[in-house]
Amino acid sequence: MVAHARAVKLFKDCNYNGEIGVVHALPTKYPYDSSNPEDVKAAELEDIIHNKFILNATYLGKYSRETMAGVQHILSVNGGQLEISDEDYKILDAAKDLNDFLGINYYMSDWMRGYEGESEITHNATGDKGGSKYQLKGVGQREFDIDVPRTDWDWMIYPQGLYDQIMRVVKDYPSYHKIYVTENGLGYKDEFDEKEKTVHDDACIDYVKKI
């Protein structure tokens, strides 16, 4: 993010034509059980990893106390550390109001449960539903067996998550200028109609209608 801030500042200082901003995958995170403090905490920590760590740096020019506390917790549990200097913060701060746009890539949301064990992550690369596992030490685990449809790659099909993510940006990062939905949809096994020489992409069309 420091490199991005440097590039944005240089672009603006040189008065180049065009727009400059950041594009990022922003999957929305929800607690599996919103009444369970462990699930709520797991969703918050997962959100820090995937979303707040990027958005804080881009639009606040710093990391909020909550975000940094979450980062330090995750790193300490996993034997890591974050090195960021005062100069890095100055660079982030100088660019925080200069991004012309935020591009959101959105394909799925995740539901998180509290988890105390070791990390174990299995990505479903086969397209056989049910092959995914995500358990991250110090964070939580993703729950796949919920009442939300999912793709054959275990990505949750939840258009509402895009709306919720956009509203979060509007609320928490008011210095944004505009938002582009740069990628959106669902992973789907295309069925080619040999007779009509076409793909009837009804599932994706139905998804877009729900946005």
- Domain tally for the chain? 1
46 and 140 Cβ atoms separated by less than 8 Å: yes
Range 12-29 average pLDDT: 98
| 25 falls within a domain | yes
With tokens 């729950």, the residue in question is 143
Report, as residue numbers or ranges, the catalytic residues.
183
By residue range, what is the domain housing residue 15?
2-111+154-186+193-210
pLDDT of residue 209: 85
Mean pLDDT (the chain, rounded): 95
| 127 falls within a domain | no
| 126 falls within a domain | no
Beta bridge partners of residue 192, listed in sequence order: 199
Q: Any idea of the CA torsion for 53, 55, 59, 62, to the nearest 10 degrees? A: -10
| 132 falls within a domain | no
Q: Which of 26, 67, 51, 36 is nearest to 143 (CA)?
A: 36
Confidence of residue 211 (pLDDT cuts 50, 70, 90): confident
| 134 falls within a domain | no
| 136 falls within a domain | no
| 201 falls within a domain | yes
Query: Which CATH number belongs to the domain containing residue 105 in this structure?
Result: 3.20.20.80
